[in-house]
Amino acid sequence: MGLNVVMIATYPLEPGRVVGGIESVTSTLVPALAAREEIDSLTVLRFHTGEATVESRREGPKVEIRYLRGQRRLGVATGSFLDVRQTRKVLAELRPDVVHAHEIGLRGDIATQVSDKTVVTVHGLIHLETRLNARTSVKERVRYYLVEAMVRRVLRRAKAVISISDYDARALSGMVRGEHISIPNPTAPEFFALSPSAPTEPRLLFAGVLSPRKNPEGLLTAFSLALREVPKARLIMVGPQPDAEYARAIRAQATDLGLDDAVEFVGMVDNERLREEIALARAVVLFSHEETSPTILAQAMAAGKPVISARVGGIPEMVTDAVNGYLVEPGDTAELAERMVELLRNQELALEFGARGHLMALDRFEPDAVARRTVETYLRVAGM
């Protein structure tokens, strides 16, 4: 008899419509897990606030996705009381061997309250990210203390914690009481299928949430410098824009820098459009202040594209400077611009870096290998 698994995670509301890095990971991992003979059934609990159009759907004989109307407010302060109550009812019906939560925030908090056989995957250091905003107001400081307490509670209760990089493993050292292991996030096969890259126009791609943490201001400043050297260069900025006021400010900065004809703000796209943009790009660029293990960089590597990124968080574990891309010092717009120019001018070097990155991605992010190691963790947690 195989494993009966419940996963509590952000997951696509509609097939093929992937929003954000965690959805990209879970929508890749779930079918890879279902392909394992050790798995009998896998039920994903996807909390939402009214966006889902169905209550459940099947994705093959082993997988069911259940869409649960979630608690809208005060989740951190109340320990997601209403969501926990719903989850207990589902678990009483399904009687899973393991509950796997994706993130050490609210979903991890729900999972560790309803099961003593819980695996939690780290998808970002939410307590550290919240700390960045804690100086802005009393409300944000209170939220930071509540979030930090929640994270500590999750890490203390989980039977196994999966870090996706050595960076987050070090950051959580001493906070995890159970087993603490490292398993990279998987990357979907359709991104690997884009390699080898064809020659491209001098076109750069940023893909991510338009937020201060991603530092689009610094990226635009650096690109304006690169554009002086490569006038035909283009920068495509893809991703959700949750803060309309901030998005307007970034667009205004692009205008002030004279970039209206060279920068395109695309907004949210589906996976097919994202793959198209990656295929068209000479390189993928990220200039964040903080990151753990960005999904877009793994996707770029799988697709045979070089990466230019700030040397922050877990990114140096993914990108080796002058091997599969370039690393620059955080905030150094002049250095970022210089590296942009090098790849925009040198197609052969970009293809060389991209080919190396593809091989590195095959070794680290291939879905079957990630699923195998995840199932091994389930078996230990379940005592099977």
Confidence (pLDDT) at 219: 98
Reply yes or no on whether the pLDDT at 79 is more than 90. no
Work out the average pLDDT over 184-204: 97
3-state SS, the chain, equals CCEEEEEECCCCCCCCCCCHHHHHHHHHHHHHHHCCCCEEEEEEEEEECCCCCCCEEECCCCEEEEEEECCCCCHHHHCCHHHHHHHHHHHHHHCCCEEEEECCCHHHHHHHHHCCCEEEECCCCHHHHHHHHCCCCHHHHHHHHHHHHHHHHHHHHCCEEEECCHHHHHHCCCCCCCEEEECCCCCCHHHHCCCCCCCCCCEEEEECCCCHHHCHHHHHHHHHHHHHHCCCCEEEEECCCCCHHHHHHHHHHHHHCCCCCCEEEEECCCHHHHHHHHHHCCEEEECCCCCCCCHHHHHHHHCCCCEEEECCCCHHHCCCECCCEEEECCCCHHHHHHHHHHHHHCHHHHHHHHHHHHHHHHHHHCHHHHHHHHHHHHHHHHCC
Confidence (pLDDT) at 125: 85
Confidence (pLDDT) at 11: 97
C-alpha–C-alpha distance, residues 271 and 343, integer Å: 25
Reply yes or no on whether the pLDDT at 103 is more than 90. yes
Give residue-wise pLDDT tens across range 22-51. Answer: 999 999 999 999 999 999 999 999 999 999
Query: What is the arrangement of strands in the sheet containing 307-310, beginning at the earlier edge strand?
Result: 263-267, 234-238, 203-207, 283-286, 307-310, 325-328
| Nearest alpha carbon to residue 108 among 169, 64, 56, 149 | 149
Confidence (pLDDT) at 136: 62
C-alpha–C-alpha distance, residues 88 and 103, integer Å: 19
Q: Are the CB atoms for 110 and 75 separated by under 8 Å? A: no
Confidence (pLDDT) at 132: 63
Reply yes or no on whether the pLDDT at 164 is more than 90. yes
C-alpha–C-alpha distance, residues 188 and 181, integer Å: 22
299, 303, 305, 311: CA torsion to nearest 10: 20
Q: Are the CB atoms for 291 and 180 separated by under 8 Å? A: no
Work out the average pLDDT over 207-231: 96
Work out the average pLDDT over 129-157: 81
Work out the average pLDDT over 118-135: 80
Reply yes or no on whether the pLDDT at 279 is more than 80. yes
Residues 6 or more apart whose CB falls under 8 angstroms from that of 73 comprise: none
Residue entry with tokens 């307490």: 149
Strands 56-58 and 63-69, sheet pairing:
antiparallel
Query: What is the percentage of the chain residues whose pLDDT exceeds 90?
Result: 86
**Could you count the other beta carbons within 10 Å of the beta carbon of residue 141?**
15
Confidence (pLDDT) at 351: 98
Q: Which of 92-96, 145-149, 302-306 has the lowest mean pLDDT?
A: 145-149
Reply yes or no on whether the pLDDT at 135 is more than 70. no
Confidence (pLDDT) at 21: 86
Reply yes or no on whether the pLDDT at 127 is more than 90. no
| Nearest alpha carbon to residue 21 among 384, 326, 295, 324 | 295
Confidence (pLDDT) at 241: 93
C-alpha–C-alpha distance, residues 234 and 264, integer Å: 8
Mean pLDDT, the chain, rounded, equals 94
| Nearest alpha carbon to residue 246 among 265, 224, 264, 225 | 265
Give residue-wise pLDDT tens across range 236-272. Answer: 999 999 999 999 999 999 999 999 999 999 998 988 9
Q: Are the CB atoms for 243 and 211 separated by under 8 Å? A: yes
Q: What tokens appear for 182 in the block?
A: 């490292």
Amino acid at 4: N
- Would the CA dihedral through 364, 174, 105, 139 be positive or negative? negative
Confidence (pLDDT) at 305: 98
C-alpha–C-alpha distance, residues 305 and 265, integer Å: 21
Residue entry with tokens 């200039």: 287
Give residue-wise pLDDT tens across range 305-347. Answer: 999 999 999 999 999 999 999 999 999 999 999 999 999 999 9
Work out the average pLDDT over 83-100: 97
Work out the average pLDDT over 286-304: 95
Q: What tokens appear for 243 in the block?
A: 């803060």
Reply yes or no on whether the pLDDT at 128 is more than 80. no
Confidence (pLDDT) at 134: 60
